[in-house]
Structure 1
Amino acid sequence: MRDNQSKIHGLALDLVEEGQDLSLWEQKVQKKKAPLPQGVTNKMMYADVIRIAWPSMVELLLTQLASMIDLMMVGQLGAWALTSVGLTTQPKFLFMTIFQALNVGATAMVARSKGAGRQDKANLIMRQALMMTFLVAIAMSFIGYFSSEWMVKFMGASDAESLAGGTIYLQIQMIGFVPMALTTVITAVLRGVGDSRTAMIYNVVANVVNVILNYFLIYGHMGFPALGIAGASLATILGQAVAMVMAFYAVMRRRSGYLHLRLTDGFLPDKESIASIFKIGFPAMVEQLVMRAGMIIYSKTVA
């Protein structure tokens, strides 16, 4: 039996009993209405949800704004540049599909471990998710880099300029795929313990760095080389690298919160943790695969 008094200073959500090891679909099928723990009210639960959600909302809003600014700056190079970037969007998202599964599973398992008072288990899940993401991201990076030209052609590049621009843009994105993937996993586990504010901070910083470097690297201001569309892609992955450094610092520093990443704890595979992550995240991966396939078909149809 967990000691409720020890969690008074945390989230009210932490007092909810630990769930069973079920997939999202199984949870919906077997969902039962259970009373809230003693001392927890609906108002407290709603307050927790808002507390966790608002940083994510701000982060998403500012990220979309940064993406718009990014496209506006690329658009100054000409219509071909916008076309080139647009041709890479769906292939890049398709490569991110498997990480959707890892992120959903990691968030759920970390949240469940925190609710059960198992800090050691939460940290184990974080290490397992990082290990799997690192290995898969390296493989995806190689595949994506060497198939970039084919993917841009497949998406409908109709002229040599758009094909060349899209290829170099996607290749640079694939070089920076590992930092981006690792950052998303840390974001997922932080949200699993109710800390969405930290993720908001480093993702907003990454977007600011991206926009600033766009100014220097696309147009060649302040003595920087004018790299054009390659500069836009490079600015993006450098911003993501900054976010990754900040994300790792957040979970590795002492007294960083519930999660603490120690390299000395090791990253050997834990079959039970890996199976739990994929069991919960697999439906999300299927959903994303179907959605991305539909978007690719749509994009090719209208191209």
Structure 2
Amino acid sequence: MAKLAFLGLGVMGYPMAGHLQSAGHDVTVYNRTAEKARKWAGQHGGGSAPTPREAAAGAAFVMSCVGNDDDLRSVCLGEDGAFAGMEKGAIFVDHTTVSAAVTRELAGAARAAGLGYVDAPISGGQAGAENGQLSVMCGGDQDDFDRAAPVIGAYAKICRRLGDVGAGQITKMCNQIAIAGLVQGLSESLAFAQKAGLDIGEVVEVISQGAAGSWQMANRHETMAAGEFDHGFAVDWMRKDLAICLAAGDEIGALLPVTALVDQFYKEVQSMGGGRWDTSSLIARLVK
């Protein structure tokens, strides 16, 4: 068991930090809204700190799950950043979905300070975080990963190293690219069935048993048909992730025509007031 810090208590980070505490680790949390950190500490029995630096002091591992590149820089760097409070040999594990560029930047700063760095973005949504069933895709030195993996295991159903620093973020981009096209295809299929006068439940029962079947189909077709979009990852965050994917595609020369198109469809959902709807809300623009 280890002394840990967890930075960022959003819908993912809050339960993830709780799993670490439940596993027997000594966890101190930091959140930009201090009241939420105090609430977590009262609920789980860990500690809270007013700055990332104080949360990270003496921790063998510091986990983060914040919003974007700038948020990640703010909790890592500067006088009150985590890197300033970490001891040499400690490892920073970032679960935020950010650009590979900021990952390489911060990994370099960590190495200069004698720290390890593992980029470890996650997939599985709020339910996966709450149930400790996240997929964690990692990049970093093998030794750093080998040390961090048992700790990450408190909330992971799979934790895999894909390569050096940045490989985790690139793999998360693959994940988001695959999801974007899949959800659009499912949305068109359900809307088509509805327009044709078929019973969506009966259609899904049949086609889900063949090659069209997917987790999204099994778990979201009913709520999509009902226009209920409060079940997970928000459109605003998906557009942030897809912007990262498209920028990386330009950088490496990878063509992402479907991803670019679906990004614009999500922009349309935002214009409908659906920025906080979950990603299955693509169907809303087809059945309005």
With the length of structure 2 as denominator, give the TM-score of the two structures.
Answer: 0.26
More helix by share: 1
With the length of structure 1 as denominator, give the TM-score of the two structures.
Answer: 0.25
Structure scoring higher RCO (CA < 8 A, sep ≥ 6) equals 1
User: Bigger radius of gyration, 1 or 2?
Assistant: 1
